[in-house]
Amino acid sequence: MPIIHVTVTKKLPADVKAELMEYFAEQICANTSTLSKNIYVTYMRWTRKMCESLLQPFLSTGR
């Protein structure tokens, strides 16, 4: 299953997030043999508090 990681440095409007997720899904279909019904795209904006939690699978660089 293709995995895409995107880093967003600012808060995005809902319509921009929807366009990005649609674009990612279209590109996966166009460049792999993955069927569109098998693609799940989600969006999550990480906060500093989430990054500092030991329970989150995230590597903080201390910046």
2-41 confidence digits (pLDDT tens) = 667 676 777 888 888 888 888 888 888 888 888 888 887 7
Above 50 in pLDDT, residue 48? yes
Give me the number of domains the chain comprises. 1
* Residue 43 and residue 24 in contact, taking contact as beta carbons nearer than 8 Å: no
Range of the domain at 40: 1-63
- Residue 14 confidence (pLDDT): 83
Alpha-carbon distance of 20 to 49, in angstroms, equals: 25
Can you give the pTM of this predicted structure?
0.56
Confidence band, pLDDT 50/70/90 cuts, at residue 58: very low
